[in-house]
């Protein structure tokens, strides 16, 4: 006699447990006495679809809160800022979650979130002040945490609005969920007892065949799986990218002919990876591999059966789209969701994806990529690329044409590209090498450019800037981190604040501006225009200056070493400071002012040094 589960519609977190226990009892073919003794009494409690949807929405909010607490606790520990750890303490949330307070009342959660949001906003405002005591890294964490809390508050407000719109009482919703929870736990215990007795009986029967069963459970819901290959599922011995974990798989394929190369193709996989390749063919082909693991085999099949692959010739575009059911149960995991597509290389392509690698190559038509939480890798494309991403890296190589790359919280790496580049990033690195064309960079992180042919413009802060081997002009605006520039053949303009500037081997007109940090350089041909405030200026001149040059310093010493064989006249003047050094000069004094003149060789080039509350030291080398 087959056993039927009672008529229950359970929250997703309990479905897997109940189905697993029932299925186990059926597989072991219970004898009638056991069935008679343990047959559960059917009970009917139906959680209507709207209540189920609201319950899932609120459960997702609580899960996000737990993730925020976990992630930012780790971030704050790594920072080691004890004051910030105390100021952003999650203790109130942790206590309420442990007691189940938020499960009973979203009103209490809304109140706690509002108070915490105000506290983090106050910390964020402190970081905006120029005199902020916290480090730049600490302030970045504060800003990111503030965004997360605001987003979670907005989701909670939306959930509470849905309650009102559907005429749902929060008390009634919680009562229904608790009722379902209690029944599901009771059913789990009953089926666990069925499984325990069945396992004991089966174990005795199988002893002669030298088979070993797992130890029978003594109650509760943690029921072991019987030995052998589970029906409809890959064996546990099969290993994949996810270790020993395997689930239910589905594969879909499709082909579509291309009638016109002027129509773009849109490729979309909103919850997985995309691998796209351009070919010489005249058709679009696609395959989708999907694998899911859940609390029960039936749930896995339900999700896998909902996966789809669509190829369509729509008005004004070709469409390749992968789709899968929306998941709300944290125990359900997508193990693989991979879309592989080939298109005629000359088509205009728009690729959309998230939560997976986006790998694209060998296209001769324009390419646009929109991704999130993804690793994007694009290579060998000849008609330009426009890519945007967040929370993942972007790598571009061997691209011809205009490149626009936008990212945040993920590195951008670009190499061997030919064409103008517009690069924007936030709180992560940019590394550019071996490119030809005009480069414009906006960033708030470490930025590196090397072996570049063409002008470079960088607007950055909170990250070091390193420039090496540029054939073209260089313009850099930075703050709070060092700037290093070496071997530039064009003009160089650098403005920095609160961190050093270091330049070597500059062959064009050079202007350097810094506040409250060192300016140092050597092997500079100029002409020079250097302005420093609150920091030292240290230069070594070994090449003839190509025009009139000047150094101006306020509240910072000037130390200049000059090759004695240069044809140079140096005029130095300072107030409230001294002029000294090994070069031949005579110092004239007038009140608090000092001045002097040094003539080297034919004095063809000129350098003016002016200091305010600054000492000047002039020395020679051979």
- CB neighbour list of residue 235: distance below 8 Å, 6 or more residues apart: 229, 246
Residue 130: the pLDDT is 55
Q: Which residues pair with 367 in a beta bridge?
A: 349, 385
Chain center to CA of 95: 30
Q: For residue 252, give Cα distances in angstroms to 141, 245, 255, 309, 340.
A: 42, 22, 11, 6, 10
- CB neighbour list of residue 281: distance below 8 Å, 6 or more residues apart: 342, 344
Helices and strands (DSSP H and E) totals, the chain: 10, 37
How many Cβ atoms are within 10 Å of 563's Cβ, its own excluded? 16
Average pLDDT over residues 532-544: 94
Residue listed under structure tokens 């409230």? 576
Tens-place pLDDT, residues 381-438: 999 999 999 999 999 999 999 999 999 999 999 999 999 999 999 999 999 999 999 9
Residue 550: the pLDDT is 96
Question: Is it the case that residue 216 has pLDDT exceeding 50?
Answer: no
Estimate the crossing angle of helix 136-165 against helix 106-128, to 10 degrees.
150
Contact between 528 and 546 under an 8 Å Cβ cutoff? The reply is: no
Question: Is it the case that residue 552 has pLDDT exceeding 80?
Answer: yes
Rounded CA-CA distance 237/461 in Å is 51
Average pLDDT over residues 577-581: 93
Which range among 213-222, 342-351, 379-388, 567-576 shows the weakest confidence by mean pLDDT? 213-222
Tens-place pLDDT, residues 161-189: 777 776 666 666 666 555 554 554 555 55
- CB neighbour list of residue 303: distance below 8 Å, 6 or more residues apart: 248, 292, 294, 324, 325, 327, 332
What's the mean pLDDT when you consider all of the chain? Answer: 82
CA dihedral 209, 214, 218, 219 (to 10 degrees): -120
Q: What are phi and psi of 123, to 5 degrees?
A: -65, -40
Question: Is it the case that residue 46 has pLDDT exceeding 90?
Answer: no
Average pLDDT over residues 594-611: 93
How many Cβ atoms are within 10 Å of 1's Cβ, its own excluded? 6
Rounded CA-CA distance 271/198 in Å is 41
Average pLDDT over residues 5-29: 39
Which range among 4-18, 337-351, 481-495, 537-551 shows the weakest confidence by mean pLDDT? 4-18
- Banded pLDDT at 200 (limits 50, 70, 90): low
Residue 152: the pLDDT is 87
Proportion of the chain above pLDDT 70, given as a percent: 78
- Cut 0.75: pTM above it: no
Q: For the chain, first and last CA: distance in Å?
A: 105
What DSSP element (H or E) covers 85?
A: helix 82-87
- Banded pLDDT at 24 (limits 50, 70, 90): very low
- Banded pLDDT at 25 (limits 50, 70, 90): very low
Tens-place pLDDT, residues 107-132: 899 999 999 999 988 888 888 775 55
Rounded CA-CA distance 47/9 in Å is 6
Residues in the chain: 622
Which range among 86-90, 184-188, 242-246, 430-434 shows the weakest confidence by mean pLDDT? 184-188
| 517 SS3 class | coil
Question: Is it the case that residue 330 has pLDDT exceeding 70?
Answer: yes
């Amino acid at each position: 006699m087959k056993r039927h589960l009672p008529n229950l519609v359970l929250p997703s977190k309990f479905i897997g447990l109940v189905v697993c226990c029932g299925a186990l009892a059926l597989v072991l073919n219970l004898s009638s006495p056991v069935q008679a003794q343990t047959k559960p009494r059917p009970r009917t409690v139906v959680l209507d679809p709207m209540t189920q949807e609201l319950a899932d929405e609120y459960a997702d909010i609580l899960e996000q809160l737990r993730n925020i607490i976990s992630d930012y606790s780790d971030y704050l520990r790594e920072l080691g800022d004890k004051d910030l750890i105390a100021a952003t303490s999650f203790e109130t949330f942790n206590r309420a979650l442990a007691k189940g307070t938020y499960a009973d009342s979203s009103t209490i959660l809304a109140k706690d979130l509002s108070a915490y949001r105000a506290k983090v906003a106050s910390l964020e405002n402190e970081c905006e002040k120029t005199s902020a005591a916290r480090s730049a890294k600490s302030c970045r964490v504060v800003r990111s945490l503030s965004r997360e809390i605001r987003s979670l508050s907005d989701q909670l407000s939306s959930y509470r609005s849905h309650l009102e719109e559907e005429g749902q009482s929060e008390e009634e919703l919680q009562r229904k969920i608790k009722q379902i929870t209690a029944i599901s736990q009771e059913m789990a215990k009953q089926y666990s007892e069925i499984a325990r007795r069945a396992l004991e009986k089966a174990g005795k029967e199988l002893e002669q065949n030298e088979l070993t069963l797992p130890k029978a459970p003594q109650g509760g819901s943690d029921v072991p799986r019987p030995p052998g290959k589970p029906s409809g599922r890959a064996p546990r011995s099969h290993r994949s990218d996810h270790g020993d974990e395997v689930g239910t798989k589905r594969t879909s394929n499709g082909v579509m002919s291309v009638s016109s190369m002027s129509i773009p193709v849109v490729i979309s996989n909103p919850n997985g990876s995309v691998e796209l390749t351009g070919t010489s063919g005249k058709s679009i082909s696609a395959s989708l591999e999907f694998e899911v693991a859940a609390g029960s085999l039936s749930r896995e099949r339900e999700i896998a059966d909902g996966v789809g692959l669509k190829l369509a010739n729509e008005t004004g575009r070709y469409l390749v789209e992968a789709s899968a059911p929306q998941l709300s149960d944290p125990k359900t995991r997508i193990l693989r969701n991979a879309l592989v597509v080939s298109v005629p290389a000359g088509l205009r392509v728009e690729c959309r994806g998230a939560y997976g690698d986006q790998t694209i190559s060998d296209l001769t038509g324009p390419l646009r990529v929109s991704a999130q939480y993804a690793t994007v890798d694009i290579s060998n494309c000849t008609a330009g690329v426009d890519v945007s991403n967040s929370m993942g890296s972007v790598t571009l190589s061997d691209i011809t044409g205009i490149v626009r790359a936008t990212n945040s919280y993920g590195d951008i790496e670009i190499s061997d590209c030919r064409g103008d580049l517009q690069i924007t990033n936030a709180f992560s690195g940019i590394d550019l090498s071996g490119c030809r064309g005009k480069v414009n960079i906006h960033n708030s992180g470490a930025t590196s450019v090397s072996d570049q042919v063409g002008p470079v413009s960088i607007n950055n802060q909170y990250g070091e800037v390193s420039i090496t081997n540029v054939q073209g002009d260089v313009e850099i605006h930075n703050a709070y981190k060092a700037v290093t520039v070496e071997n530039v053949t064009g003009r160089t303009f650098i403005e920095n604040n609160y961190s050093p500037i270091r330049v070597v081997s500059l062959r064009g007109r050079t202007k350097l501006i810094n506040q409250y940090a060192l300016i140092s350089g050597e092997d500079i041909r100029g002409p020079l225009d250097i302005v420093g405030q609150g920091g030292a200026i240290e230069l070594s001149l070994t090449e003839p200056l190509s025009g009139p040059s000047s150094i101006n310093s306020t509240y910072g010493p000037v130390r200049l070493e000059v090759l004695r064989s240069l044809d140079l006249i140096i005029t130095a003047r300072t107030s409230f400071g001294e002029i000294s050094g090994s070069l031949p000069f005579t110092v004239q004094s007038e009140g608090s002012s000092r001045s002097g003149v040094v003539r080297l060789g034919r004095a063809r080039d000129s350098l003016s040094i002016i200091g305010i509350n600054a000492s000047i030291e002039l020395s020679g080398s051979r």
